Structure 1
């Protein structure tokens, strides 16, 4: 701790804050030997009254999924029964405690967050993770996730790392530099033991940069003459390399059996003394080792004095020596209890291609994938590829490794393995799989223009190989093309639909997904009369109990789009709700990122802005946690109907910019429709006309275009352009002609009333109100009352107008449609009625932050703290902390009082 007064003060403050119930996170970063481990040790020794959880990254364990996380969580496993079921299931699966499908890695993170938060309920905790640069990917992702979400937990998290990887990027850092010159000279003097000439001493201090380990280790074993000759001036090695050379010199002075034993210990990542002894027996090494020249000590675990000792010993050994050590460790490892480490040692011992070892690595990859360790699975597959001589098997393994890499989010690795597969012998199925995986990579990184063409090519290749797989891939291609919209490249919805319509059909009874594909393809082909019954049938099936979980997770959101195209709002509600419920239960967060956006649109269209706001918050939380590229569809619909221009217009502009850059044309279409709605609400109909026209012409087959046509009719009619209004009405009527659904018929009647005059207009308004009143679509019903009231006022029927306008105003104000409410209020005033503006929100609500408001709404709806935390990726204790602040701001004292305390605009309107 020489010269580390300020750094110790930082750690002392961190520990003090944790004892006071405040979470703190710190990454202690610096080069090898600069003193990170010493500072982490200081913190641990100073952490009286705190529960300590430890983990250490080990370089040779980086390919074993959740290896370091297991170190950390072993003391907490007895608390697993207290976790919510999806979290408990996820953690049990990754630790091999129970069988099950591979869990979403973010669900694992949420489980660990809950475990640590639960621990901190009774006593503050300190999590210490050293050598974080060597954490396995799965553990690094999990701990980075946890560290960002311990807002109100009495937990400190300390990382020691040479470099900060992407998983820990952005966390608070304490960068360690070398010691100041005076302290460095003092430390060097304590290590040398004899008087150094001042120029030589200063040169060593300068060369080491004050690195404490270098100052202690570099002079070790050197004579005064060697030091006086200017040690360190020669050679081009960096400082870590020179420190390693010091350790190597110490090892070289030891007997050959002892050096061999040190190498075995360096090659064994777990630090298991029994395993090291067994491997030593395999090699015929008889030396004992309680401690070897200060390089290694034996206690409950085999421990090197510094991680550089391990890397120095391993790196300086010959390839033959390393292979012998790994082979001995493989033979000493129990194949039944630890088959994956045995396979890894066998792979490291292999001289060249070895099919038996490659098969073992395959099995390890399968086990890792089953636990959700996709990065580890990819590493096993990569090594298996390197050991495979047979070209066909090499290609198959490269494709499997690419798939695992995609699931791990390692896109560069996936593309490299795909290149390996393409360099080999590919049959038709293999070529199709390459196209499919490249498309998945493109779609996962950016849901834009590149994926549809790749998926279409794969689907066409699959046709002659597997008809069912071909149809599934066509549906995936349609999904990708829907995201791309008009920004698709050479392949868009028309090209995919045309190819799917002529593709072979399965011999078995069609599944719901087959019906969905047929219906969507017919819509794009312009055959709505044939498409609508199929879309309704498919949407009903996806919202029902007989559909498989896999189909719902994969295409549930697309079934909601089919229901919207067929104007079947009840199926929209059912399919969107079912997908979100299944995705939440399964912990399928990538699916949930899309699902909550879709469900958010549905509930906003029903006028339930409170639920839509909660879903928007959940969508934001999922997107932030997972890094998915799903643009804010639900937020756009909510903002459009709410009508707060100062909030909505920046969202529209940002969405258009991002969608254009990423090739997500449908998101840009949503944004243009949203702006048209707001401009109509504000009475700026000339401007609304431009935006509605653009949205209506953009991918005209889609349901968003139908919504835009409704806005276009209103904007054109209200801005004195009857010809344009009539043309838009005709197009809307084409889209509603083949439906008996009240939604479509109601919007058509409302639009017809705007274009017609006299009794025809009045009858159409009456029809619109009657039809929409029988649906959940309260915002559309309120707009029908508004338009009818405006028409009546222009007919000088002020008494009748007041009735309609008062109904519209009350509905808008209750729902929270602020811009439309202002428009209705102005119209009422024009009839001679005095209207007081309703407060759209109480001052108390305005004091709540967006996150506090969403927590309040979820708690009001009966969710427990763990359930709210699971939705918003917060620990239960953090939810409770927010609740205390919410209660204080709303001047209430219990959860039961939330319903009355929240303003009417936030009340449920289901």
Structure 2
């Protein structure tokens, strides 16, 4: 019986009831060791009927074995793998070592887990419980947290138990938590009464137990049964963890030595298999009767062919108290016991624990385990294997190579500080030119993402020069990365002559190298304001890009945004996004979505921008990468400003928190500029010209200052700062004349109209419109119609003014740019025409997820296909689709396809 846990039990039961009704539930139970988290999970599992119960446990010594805990959880569902998409099923088979093959993306493993669990829940509700989550291997933890955050309208409950304190950690943002506190006095007293021997049930003994245990259920039980009255007297209460470890250790030390050694094997073992432990005991010449004696002690529990210690504190007490030499003997025995059972990674990890110093043979086996873990997508585990391999490697060159491998995998696992430390150590020992180039590329990537973009630029330039003679292909990659950084606020001031890294007479069949050549020349020409040459080289690069090469598409798209080539940028990022979706590469999708927003925004596809930004925000939350939500949130803020919508307070608070507390690297500058643009637009709408100019003056990224050119120059004119407007126009003119982009030429003429004498303005407006007709930038075109209409109305040319104001109003309404729609309507009325504005209250207001589902369904996708595209369950798709039908008033997919949604 669980005393004093009625509230907690009711909370858990409610989650299961909700799941039966199609509302998924997640919860992390956390608290001090021994507070009864596991007991609550046991109680819930026993109480649930008609539910598929899945269970796993984090094991401290198992942390370097990728997906070990996840494998235990999903093992009962693996026969259903053929019910989920084949690429996802294959990812799980590879992750669990059931098949060999190419490297698997860990994101695809996470998506597959979500699909498998929710598919099982279509037949019967699923209760998945993860005990000791703080000791999960990192790969399992990432997958399970992703699953928890993506569950929605599913018959699934996912529970974690997490130990607080003592250096353990299990960060679970996005997952609700429940603190399991100590028992109240009455409940604690009831526990003691249940467990004290009849002869010891007196108030003095009870009070002593209560004083020592402090309301901790495990301590109450163990102290009631394990300590004598004399032991309970006197001293102040110890911290519960220390007290319980002392109790367990004291119990163990009362046992014969053979039993203590057997229990140490169980504590050091991470397989949980009876056969492995007994074989290790045999190797150490421990008598077979020690098994039964250990079980009888109550410190070891057996269930079928599995063994475990009674509580994690038993493991820590026994293991930490054992001499180092004895622990080494035990690990070597466990390694020997695993010989021939098909678990080389587990075996070599025990051998590594037993190593007394450098050992080339063990290091080589650890390296092999690292390679296998990396191929399975277990990057954190791979980092552990490679790092330990480096520590045991006698040769400096192998130490450097293995430390770099550890750093690369630590970075892939988002272990930033560890990756930095490892790559720095690797560079100190490396002397191979190819390895040095790879090390510097990783150093630069880390700086790009979480450090100084200028520092990254400096690293890339120096590394490119150093690699020219020995690894020219790497030198070219590094040079292109440096050129891209310089365009987005990461210029260190060091110049790299492209001639140094571009070798004449390269392989004519190497299209990737040719594309990189062209990109480098394009970005170098742009940095020197040689715009015609830059555009020409960009066009050449676009001809050679391959859709499946995500890295190359990223370089091409970024260069196209910088040079104002909307078409190339749109194609590059759309291809990159398609590549990521098709392969299940979640980070590629997460990278592409906010960048695709640039061409989508400029081409007037604002609802698509909203969908992309919202999906990127949800995805960054799901994968536990809050820094990657900054740019999507900034896009949402800009759209809300231009549409006159309030930003949800929680989203703006999240944006501010991310910008302030998370390193954004190269994303910092464009994110800040989007926010400044949004704040400037809101100020301009409120008539606060001085505030508007303050915000837009701080914009720094050239691509964004050119995108916002009309806003910035208009703000300067309204703030009575013609000198500032003229300066910005002067920066735009050579770009427009050099690139000959119609949108840039249109912006120049628009600005000239604002700065010209009244009589000269119409000619510039007419020229601007002529250019914008050939540019797919409807917002800027509408801005020009509005400004021209305002000018004509003030000049008393009302009939001509109405034509332009009417076109502006129509475009703004199409974009749902309510503030400027209101301005255009007001100007139309002043020009003598009754403006027929659309009633925005009649527009269908769908959530971003509903919009995405509606759009994909309208393209003819089934619920399963939409689910695979969005990385949610089919049931969740059905839930959002029903909401779409209810809000739009339609009842079929065909009718939905006829609607204009956004």
Q: TM-score, normalised by structure 2?
A: 0.88
Alpha-carbon deviation of 1:51? 0.8
Q: 1:884 aligns with which of 878, 882, 885?
A: 882
Change (3 A) 1:461 1:643: same
Q: 1:590 aligns with which of 576, 587, 590?
A: 587
- Corresponding residue for 2:275? 274
2:387 aligned with 1:382: yes
**Cα offsets for 1:514-553 (capped at 9, x unmatched):** 22122112211232232221122223433xxx36x34xx2
- Corresponding residue for 2:156? 155
2:473 aligned with 1:475: no
Change (3 A) 1:586 1:445: farther
Alpha-carbon deviation of 1:364? 0.5
Which SS does the other structure have where 1:33 is aligned?
coil
Q: 1:445 aligns with which of 447, 450, 473?
A: 450
Change (3 A) 1:121 1:500: farther
Which SS does the other structure have where 2:26 is aligned?
strand
Q: What is the distance in 2 between the residues matched to 1:188 and 1:679?
A: 66
Alpha-carbon deviation of 1:411? 2.0
Equivalence map 1:225-304=2 (5 Å): 227-231=228-232, 233=234, 238-288=239-289, 289=291, 291-296=295-300, 297=302, 299-304=304-309
- Corresponding residue for 1:779? 779
Residue range with higher mean Cα deviation, 276-285 or 119-128: 276-285
- Corresponding residue for 1:489? none
- Corresponding residue for 2:528? 525
Change (3 A) 1:772 1:35: same
Alpha carbons 1:244, 1:309 under 8 Å: kept: yes
Which SS does the other structure have where 2:157 is aligned?
strand
Residue range with higher mean Cα deviation, 612-621 or 648-657: 648-657
Equivalence map 1:225-624=2 (5 Å): 227-231=228-232, 233=234, 238-288=239-289, 289=291, 291-296=295-300, 297=302, 299-335=304-340, 337-418=342-423, 420-421=425-426, 424=429, 435-445=440-450, 450-483=455-488, 485=489, 492-493=490-491, 495-496=493-494, 498-501=495-498, 503-506=500-503, 508-509=506-507, 510-542=513-545, 546=546, 549-550=548-549, 553-624=550-621
Alpha-carbon deviation of 1:598? 1.7
**Cα offsets for 1:287-344 (capped at 9, x unmatched):** 1546443333251312333333333333333323322222222222245721101111
Q: What is the distance in 1 between the residues matched to 2:674 and 2:303?
A: 65
**Cα offsets for 1:21-57 (capped at 9, x unmatched):** 3322232333333322222111111011111111111
- Corresponding residue for 1:18? 19
Alpha carbons 2:710, 2:780 under 8 Å: kept: no
Alpha carbons 1:640, 1:677 under 8 Å: kept: no
Which SS does the other structure have where 1:539 is aligned?
helix
Alpha carbons 1:106, 1:625 under 8 Å: kept: no
- Corresponding residue for 1:175? 179
Which SS does the other structure have where 1:475 is aligned?
helix
Alpha-carbon deviation of 1:370? 1.0
Alpha carbons 1:432, 1:457 under 8 Å: kept: no
- Corresponding residue for 1:811? 811
Alpha carbons 1:612, 1:638 under 8 Å: kept: no
How many residue pairs are counted as aligned between the two chains? 880
Q: What is the distance in 2 between the residues matched to 1:643 and 1:732?
A: 23
Q: What is the distance in 2 between the residues matched to 1:368 and 1:653?
A: 38
Change (3 A) 1:167 1:752: same
Which SS does the other structure have where 2:878 is aligned?
helix
Alpha carbons 2:213, 2:223 under 8 Å: kept: no
- Corresponding residue for 1:45? 46
Q: What is the distance in 2 between the residues matched to 1:536 and 1:94?
A: 41
Which SS does the other structure have where 2:782 is aligned?
helix
Alpha carbons 1:455, 1:476 under 8 Å: kept: yes
Alpha-carbon deviation of 1:555? 4.5
**RMSD of aligned alpha carbons:** 3.6
Alpha carbons 1:856, 1:883 under 8 Å: kept: yes
Q: Structure 2 unaligned runs (5+)?
A: 508-512
Q: Structure 1 unaligned runs (5+)?
A: 486-491
Alpha-carbon deviation of 1:218? 3.9
Change (3 A) 1:894 1:193: same
Alpha-carbon deviation of 1:464? 4.7
Q: What is the distance in 1 between the residues matched to 2:648 and 2:722?
A: 28
Q: What is the distance in 2 between the residues matched to 1:66 and 1:354?
A: 27
Q: What is the distance in 1 between the residues matched to 2:556 and 2:656?
A: 25
Residue range with higher mean Cα deviation, 30-39 or 634-643: 634-643
Change (3 A) 1:86 1:792: farther
Residue range with higher mean Cα deviation, 173-182 or 827-836: 173-182
Q: What is the distance in 1 between the residues matched to 2:698 and 2:180?
A: 56
Q: What is the distance in 2 between the residues matched to 1:567 and 1:399?
A: 38
- Corresponding residue for 1:666? 670
Alpha carbons 2:641, 2:679 under 8 Å: kept: no
- Corresponding residue for 2:510? none
Alpha carbons 1:83, 1:114 under 8 Å: kept: yes
